Structure 1
Amino acid sequence: MAMDEELLTRQMPHSVEAEQAVLGSMLIDERCIPAVIEKLRPEDFYLRQNRDIYETIYSMFSLSETVDPVTVLDKMRLNGVFDENTSRAYILQLMEVTPTAANVGEYMDIVKDKSLLRRIAETAGDLTAMVQEGTAAGQEVLDAAEQRIYAIRQGRASQGLTPLSSVVLDVLDRLEELSKSDSAVPGLSTGLPDVDAAISGLNNSDLILLAARPGMGKTSFALNVLLQVGKFSGKTAVFFSLEMSREQLCMRLISNEAFVDNKKLVTGRLTDEDWDKVALAAAALGRSRILIDDNPSLSVADMNAKCRRVEDLGLVVIDYLQLMQSAGGKQKYAGENRQQVVSDISRALKIMAKELNVPVVCLSQLSRGPESRQDKRPMLSDLRESGAIEQDADIVMFLYRDDYYNEDSESRNLAECIIAKNRHGETRKVELQWLPEYTTFSSIDRTHQEY
């Protein structure tokens, strides 16, 4: 007998009683079904028979069918999971062992908890197997571990097939949410209405690439977006600065927010009026939800790991792509070309955007291609070192200022945001006002054109 007991204790964690009580509650009182379906997935049930019954109820609920013992048995017969000898008796037994549907919340918590323990055990087993095989490097195992644990935390399977029916329900919920919201664009605002309208805002799981030649205002544009999200969206914005220090960045943000000339801030020659503006700006920035990391040698995996720990993450901004390290550090690509590294990084960034389910804005340098052309406006082919970036990004935007190249340009302090690739709509050009003394962009004031 001791042998049998030992075998049983080696089963994965589960609670037969809790699983039966959840199903019994659903059969006794149809009103508790929505609460259960919101919290439990079919795979949370360990016993095959229980999972079959739950899947049946789940599909009936999705189709708005009446759920009671008779209809469930009928549906099970249709689905081919009905056993003539046992199914009817088992359903009766489920209803008998459940004292009341009032405690369904507690039963659900037990089922969920056991399911969580099983998934952790499964992940631990897989990681141990990876280590024992000895083919993966420690860093790779660590990345896999973080990814799997994060997936468990988010309550979704790291790998798994999702029935279209449940995706349709999610999309319908999202559409309902959008129709109720007042904002004109579905995504987060960039703070520049014309750009928002062109790209439908910054949307979850999008990789947005902002590229330009040096000196065009890439970082300024990114800080505009960062401020907008960090101040007004109610979510946290994270900025990875591989080029500028935290202090330099903060200085730029204060200049941006206070409308105090950047040169004055750098030299510290401020009037009393300037000090007042700076104090107000500092207070506003202090209230904003912005996190900054200025470690210059981060890889995508490091960024991903840091972002996973951020509460209520809304946006990630990276300045800039070509300074990033590949996951394997420098040695991995010693003999290979930089193009391979950049394409690996851009692929990893897109995966990160999907996994964190937030927009990721990544800045990128352009090759010297535009300099040698008559028309110096950037094109997709100028993306430095990689066609893969263009392929992975959902939106590619270029910044171009004519007055940077032509001293006597007619379009003084006018900038063009060229949307060269857009999975959410058309590609076009948006004109912006460039305010050099505050290193910031703003929408063009059109009032004088309307009359």
Structure 2
Amino acid sequence: MSEYQVPSSMAEQSILGAILITDRCLPEIQRELRPEDFRLEVNRMLYEAILALERSGGKLDPVTILDQAQRMGAKVSSQYLMQLMEITPTAANVGEYVRIVKKDRLREALGEHADRVRAGVDDLEDPDVILASAQQRLNDLAAQGSAGKLVSPSDGILAYYRQRETIEAGDAKGYVCTGYMALDELLGGGMLNSGLYLLAARPGMGKTTLALNIADRVAQADPVLFVSLEMDTEQLSAKRISRETGIPSQKLLMQALTQEEEDRVADVSRKLAGLAFWSNAAPTATVDDIGALARSIGGLRLIVVDYFGKILPPPAARRYGRVEYTTEISGDLKNLARALHIPILVLCQLNRDLEKREEKRPQLSDLRDTGALEQDADGVIFLYREDYYAARESVDPNVPSVLDVDLAKNRHGSVGGCKLAFSLATSKISGMSYRRKTKEEIPEQFRIGG
């Protein structure tokens, strides 16, 4: 008889019977099954009683389990427990019993999911909402299949050495360089695969400009997805062309060009069209939408999202408050980075409270209102320009502005700052200098080795 022909209820009973025979199999079962995975109510309540006893440090045997289950309201008899032990062939095969129950639950969940999709189609719901919800549910079901799997001590070390092998072979595929030597030095080489990185500042500091510069530098060798939820494609292209031609983007978008300027734009446009720079067409996106776009690009090495506050929450989360759904979006972005095994650079606007301070340089507490971003992020990069707060007439757009870049959090290396030269008129950013922070300047929770 194949595993698909074995009744799930029999497998459930054999799992419980195995625990009653010997509680040594419980850790293996706990890693894979939750109470809701048991279809029969009596079996589910027995498993809940077993887990409650285990958490309290109580002894697990038929008498204590029966007593705990009855005190929790289960209608179960000692005869049923004896029956469970009698029908269980052996506790040694509990892993197979668990696998049968998990596969049965997954088939059941997929059937329910298909019914919900069909109901949404029949009710003429928005297909984009149906698709986003369907994809999120499928991702959740796929994740459940691996959530309980352990990585052995040796496999954990082997994963590290596989990462090292790519670097020692001269293949820096374990991370993605920003293209700015000073910033990459601070990051320890670049943005690590599976990492979530924040580029945060007040509006107008240069977040989008720096992100575009980084994206184009990466796109010279590898595909990049730039998800812009604030600027139209033509505006992004104008900023990129402006950087390469030296013609202000305002003129590129709104004024006549000379023949010489037209020729320069044509040359640069051909160059930029050859870069592996992909962008989105729709003005809105959920994390699932971003994931779908990313998976359609072969060999993708970096995702840039501009910006966090414009990402739509999942349909089911839209009835919750801002803190709840931004926390969910933050976690989903980190999960997406891990699933795709590439870094995601997310732009964030800082709250207005810093404008009330005398010292207006950003700090990590300025991210507090943005859900769990600070906790989920592998790196937090702040931007600050002194001339942003200067009198407008005192700023010469033809003189490069000094852009202070502060790596305020780096889960995998040092923190510190560097300075970049920022041409406001042409969106060009180039390197200047950098400095590591001293130990005393690093927040205690981010210090390496204490």
**Which residue is 1:111 aligned to?**
none
Correspondence 1:421 to 2:409: yes
Correspondence 1:369 to 2:353: yes
**Which residue is 2:325 aligned to?**
341
**Which residue is 2:288 aligned to?**
301
Q: Is the 8 A contact 2:381 2:405 kept in 1?
A: yes
For 2:234 and 2:116, locate their aligned partners in 1 and report how far apart those are by CA, in whole Å.
Answer: 46
Q: Is the 8 A contact 1:206 1:360 kept in 2?
A: yes
1:218 counterpart letter in structure 2: K
For 2:266 and 2:160, locate their aligned partners in 1 and report how far apart those are by CA, in whole Å.
Answer: 44
Give the total of aligned pairs: 323
The superposition leaves residues 234-283 of structure 1 with CA deviations (integer Å, 9 ceiling, x where unpaired) of: x2100111111111111112112333222221224323332232122111
For 2:148 and 2:255, locate their aligned partners in 1 and report how far apart those are by CA, in whole Å.
Answer: 54
**Which residue is 1:355 aligned to?**
339
Report deviation, 1:142: 3.5
1:306 counterpart letter in structure 2: L
The superposition leaves residues 208-257 of structure 1 with CA deviations (integer Å, 9 ceiling, x where unpaired) of: 0011111101110110111011113xx21001111111111111121123
1:264 counterpart letter in structure 2: K
Q: Is the 8 A contact 2:240 2:427 kept in 1?
A: no
The superposition leaves residues 410-441 of structure 1 with CA deviations (integer Å, 9 ceiling, x where unpaired) of: 99610101111111222211111111111131
* Residue aligned with 2:348, SS: strand
**Which residue is 1:116 aligned to?**
none
2:413 counterpart letter in structure 1: G
Aligned-CA RMSD value: 3.3
Q: 1:267 aligns with which of 254, 260, 266?
A: 254
* Residue aligned with 1:444, SS: strand
The superposition leaves residues 191-218 of structure 1 with CA deviations (integer Å, 9 ceiling, x where unpaired) of: 2111111112121000000111111011
For 1:209 and 1:244, locate their aligned partners in 2 and report how far apart those are by CA, in whole Å.
Answer: 19
For 1:360 and 1:198, locate their aligned partners in 2 and report how far apart those are by CA, in whole Å.
Answer: 18
2:274 counterpart letter in structure 1: R
Correspondence 1:434 to 2:422: yes
1:309 counterpart letter in structure 2: S
Q: Against the structure 1 CA distance between its residues 165 and 374, is the aligned structure 2 distance closer, same or farther, given a 3 Å change threshold?
A: same
Alignment of 1:133-282 (within 5 A): 140-146=133-139, 160-181=149-170, 187-200=175-188, 201-232=190-221, 235-282=222-269
Q: Is the 8 A contact 2:219 2:277 kept in 1?
A: yes
Correspondence 1:127 to 2:127: no
Report deviation, 1:121: 9.9
Which stretches in structure 1 are left out of the alignment for 5+ residues? 1-6, 13-118, 447-451
Deviates more, 1:295-304 or 1:318-327: 295-304
TM-score normalised to structure 2 length? 0.64
For 2:251 and 2:287, locate their aligned partners in 1 and report how far apart those are by CA, in whole Å.
Answer: 36
Report deviation, 1:123: 5.5
The superposition leaves residues 134-154 of structure 1 with CA deviations (integer Å, 9 ceiling, x where unpaired) of: 9x99665542325667x89xx
* Residue aligned with 1:352, SS: helix
For 1:164 and 1:357, locate their aligned partners in 2 and report how far apart those are by CA, in whole Å.
Answer: 21
For 2:231 and 2:428, locate their aligned partners in 1 and report how far apart those are by CA, in whole Å.
Answer: 17
Q: Against the structure 1 CA distance between its residues 403 and 9, is the aligned structure 2 distance closer, same or farther, given a 3 Å change threshold?
A: closer
TM-score normalised to structure 1 length? 0.64
The superposition leaves residues 124-176 of structure 1 with CA deviations (integer Å, 9 ceiling, x where unpaired) of: 55412566799x99665542325667x89xxx957622323223223212212
2:311 counterpart letter in structure 1: M
Q: Against the structure 1 CA distance between its residues 439 and 160, is the aligned structure 2 distance closer, same or farther, given a 3 Å change threshold?
A: same
